[in-house]
Amino acid sequence: LFVEADLPGDGTLAATPAQAHYLGAVLRRSPGDPVLLFNGRDGEWQAEVAALRKDRGSFALGRRTRAQAPEPPLRLLLAAVKRDAMDLVAEKATELGATLIQPVLTRRTVTDRVNTGRLAAIAREAAEQCRRLGVPEVREAAPLHAVLDAWDGAPLLFGDETGHGTTGHGATGHGTTGHGAAGGGEGEGAAALAGAVAGLAPPLAWLVGPEGGFDPAELADLRRRPFVRAVTLGPRILRAETAAIAGLAVMQAVAGD
Ligand code: SAM
């Protein structure tokens, strides 16, 4: 279970009302039963339910069962999409080891409200479920150009479904140069993601556009940033959430832990 408090603290922790309800009504736990606690910073701790009533409870802490290991920084930048898709991505990105989830606002973003508190809660639950001791940081949504302006220079790969290269071509429409131009042989074709990640070390970032894609001005802006590289996930146009999850899976497999 995720707890906010420092661990071990003074050895006793209060459960949140939601945890007390979950432990009692859903998991049918009683005082004396074991639970594992983590807070995203101090490792995993064995604990025991000390008291449990309807929506109140406490834990008595035992020994530490796992140390907090550093996680390779894998950042996800995702154009805000509809709520269900954001929820899905928050869960799957956490399972796949993303350490940062940054919603970005683009010209073709249709929603301008992203409930980041909700996404953070989903990420915490996903971390509990997959026994991950780290929880990704969920940042407030910000305009794409602002995120790029503030970038620390770590390699940022973006999903380019047009298969165009990182330079040249000007127009960003579809279909004129063919898809899946992995490497392209001309030095400017979009590389396939796994190939682009090989040889890079975290921190790494994966940026996915909105359902309508990035607009030409955004693509031009992305291409002139030295830390940005366009990559393809193949010839099919994926939903934004699929592209987010698939890209993270590749990054995790090639450069993760
Ligand atoms: N603009 C496109 C259109 O309307 O035909 C669709 C954009 S797609 C639904 C949403 C985002 O997913 C894109 O901006 C891109 O970042 C990513 N994406 C989708 N398919 C991809 C692929 N085959 N390779 C790389 N990225 C992809």
* pLDDT tens string 177-194: 333 333 333 334 567 999
Distance CA 75, CA 72 (A): 10
Q: What is the pTM of this model?
A: 0.88
Q: Ligand 1 atom closest to Cα of 159? A: 26
CATH architecture of the region 12-66: Beta Barrel (2.40)
Decide which of 3.40.1280.10, 3.40.50.2300, 3.90.1150.10, 3.40.720.10 is the CATH code for 74-255: 3.40.1280.10
Mean pLDDT to the nearest integer, 122-140: 97
Share of the chain above pLDDT 90, in %: 85
- pLDDT at position 175 is 34
- pLDDT at position 111 is 86
Share of the chain above pLDDT 70, in %: 89
Provide the CA 177 distance to its chain's centre, in angstroms: 31
- Give yes or no for residue 246 having a pLDDT over 70: yes
User: Which amino acid, residue 84?
Assistant: D
- Give yes or no for residue 34 having a pLDDT over 60: yes
Q: How many other C-beta atoms are found inside a 10 Å radius of the C-beta of residue 108?
A: 13
Q: Ligand 1 atom closest to Cα of 239? A: 9
- pLDDT at position 162 is 86
- Give yes or no for residue 197 having a pLDDT over 70: yes
Q: Which helix (H) or strand (E) holds 128?
A: helix 116-130
Q: Measured in angstroms, how far is the CA atom of residue 209 from the centroid of ligand 1? A: 7
Distance CA 190, CA 165 (A): 4
Q: Measured in angstroms, how far is the CA atom of residue 222 from the centroid of ligand 1? A: 15
DSSP code of 24?
Answer: I
> Residue 102: CB partners within 8 Å, gap ≥ 6?
75, 76, 77, 78, 139, 142, 147
Domain with CATH 3.40.1280.10 in the chain: 74-255
* Omega before 143 within 30 of 0, i.e. cis: no
Distance CA 52, CA 25 (A): 11
**Which residues form ligand 1's pocket by a CB distance below 6 Å?**
159-161, 208-209, 211-214, 232-234, 236-240, 243
End-to-end CA, the chain: 23
Judge contact between 186 and 235, C-beta under 8 A. no
pLDDT digits (tens, 9 = 90+) for 43-95: 999 999 999 998 999 999 999 999 999 999 999 999 999 999 999 999 999 99
- pLDDT at position 183 is 35
User: Which amino acid, residue 85?
Assistant: A
Average pLDDT, the chain: 90
Structure tokens at 246: 């698939």
Structure tokens at 124: 């915490």
Which of the listed residues 106, 161, 193, 208 should we mutate to test ligand 1's pocket, taking the one with most ligand atoms within 8 A of CB?
A: 161
- Give yes or no for residue 165 having a pLDDT over 50: no
Domain with CATH 2.40.240.20 in the chain: 12-66
Residue 156's nearest CA partner among 245, 93, 73 is 73
- pLDDT at position 177 is 34
Q: Exposed, middle or buried by CB within 10 Å (0-12, 13-18, 19+), for 45?
A: buried
Is residue 110 very low, low, confident or very high in pLDDT (cuts 50, 70, 90)?
A: confident
Distance CA 93, CA 87 (A): 10
- pLDDT at position 189 is 52
- pLDDT at position 73 is 98
